[in-house]
Amino acid sequence: MLGLEGKITAVIGAASGIGQAIAVAFAKQGAVVACSDVDGDGLKATTAAIEAVGGQTDASIVDVRSSAEVDSWLGRVVAEHGRLDVAVCTPGINIRKPLIEYTDAEYDAVTDVNLRGSFNVLRGAGRIMAPQGSGSMIVISSISSRVVEPGQVIYAGTKAALAQMVRVFAAELGRAGVRVNAIAPGPVETALTEPIRASSAWAGAYAEKVALGRWARPSEIAGPAVFLASDAATYVTGELMFVDGGWVDLDAQFADQDAVATD
């Protein structure tokens, strides 16, 4: 049920991090993977990795902020393969600073990628999948959609909005046979989190918040994406799936660990 043999999938943000891991994981499960990103060199690395596992792929330079580019790319995928079974949107950026210090340009930069970009992919894929009567869409939210961290207000706002967008869109497209879900990762070892991991103290503090005591690898986010794309998840839609090593649900679990141990 977790196999993706023959499924036509499109992954935007495939040049690195979570997007790259998802694209390769889809290929390993037998999917045809159309990859896109603004990073051409990264796309070459991803396509090489897919071809190394015997996968079928192609790559396109696409800016997720441009609805015209997104629609054109998805249209080419359908023109070549006849349908679109899975669409995944992973790009995201973060500018860490207090709200009162944000500039208009910084606000636009974060919201244009995180929110408008995901909107472009959801709308474009939805216009294809609804008429064909099937499909699965997956976007990347974050634990920041629920937890609070100073300096994250705009990033967190986009991720929370994205979670609600997914829920409403799932309700709109459910009767058409289309599923829409989001994954909310915790701390993951990607380029986006390099500034945090550059400080051992900061990186350690994040790891301490996780029940598993460590950061996630991008491949550990790819597994849930494979599930949501597969026939194992045909009754799953409108969900925000937390893949966070227990951060959110176990947030206060260890606050009084010593007392619990002596009871």
Residues with catalytic function:
155
Chain centroid offset of residue 34 CA: 16
Q: In what order do the strands lie in the sheet with 56-61?
A: 56-61, 32-37, 8-12, 86-89, 135-140, 178-185, 240-243
Cβ within 8 Å of residue 205, ≥6 positions away: none
Burial 219-242, CB ≥16 within 10 A → b, else e? ebbbebbbbbbbeebeeebbbbbb
Cβ within 8 Å of residue 175, ≥6 positions away: none
Tokens of 250: 């176990």
Q: Are 184 and 240 in contact (CB under 8 A)?
A: yes
